[in-house]
Amino acid sequence: MLLDLPSSASTIDFSDNTNNNFKVRVPQKLVLEPGQWEVVAMVAHIPNKFYNIVAGEVTLLSHTTRAKQTYRLTPRFYRTPESLLAEIQKKTTQP
């Protein structure tokens, strides 16, 4: 048996549900005998509400001159490596 129990399924009955702590009302009572079942998470959807760069700096090293330049990164969620690279490139062009 496969049950799909999303955290948003019973928001009327359980208005304080969150993505990581929730209750879901099922249409009929389930009787599961002890030792006869397992619970596994097959899919987890993690919203982009966290920073993947929380604090930090990037140091660039010139291959030709061996000069180092350090830039502070803006803490936030960067959706792709390209968006992080764009932030770094923006920093390198600022006076």
The tens place of each residue's pLDDT in the chain, 95 residues long, gives 778 888 888 989 999 988 778 899 988 888 888 888 887 877 777 666 677 788 888 888 888 898 898 988 888 888 888 988 898 888 888 77
DSSP annotation of 53: B
Domain with 84, as residue range(s), is 57-93
Helix (H) or strand (E) holding 88: helix 81-93
Q: Is residue 4 part of a domain?
A: no
Is residue 73 domain-resident?
A: yes
User: Would residue 2 count as lying in a domain?
Assistant: no
Angle 85-88-89 from CA coordinates, rounded to 5°: 85
Classify residue 61: in a domain, yes or no. yes
pLDDT at position 33:
85
Residue 67 belongs to some domain of the structure: yes
Whether pTM > 0.75 for this model: the answer is: no
**Is residue 25 a contact partner of residue 10, using CB atoms and an 8 Å limit?**
yes
Q: What is the number of domains present in the chain?
A: 1
The SS3 assignment for 72 reads: strand
Dihedral over alpha carbons 90, 91, 93, 95 (to 10 degrees): 140
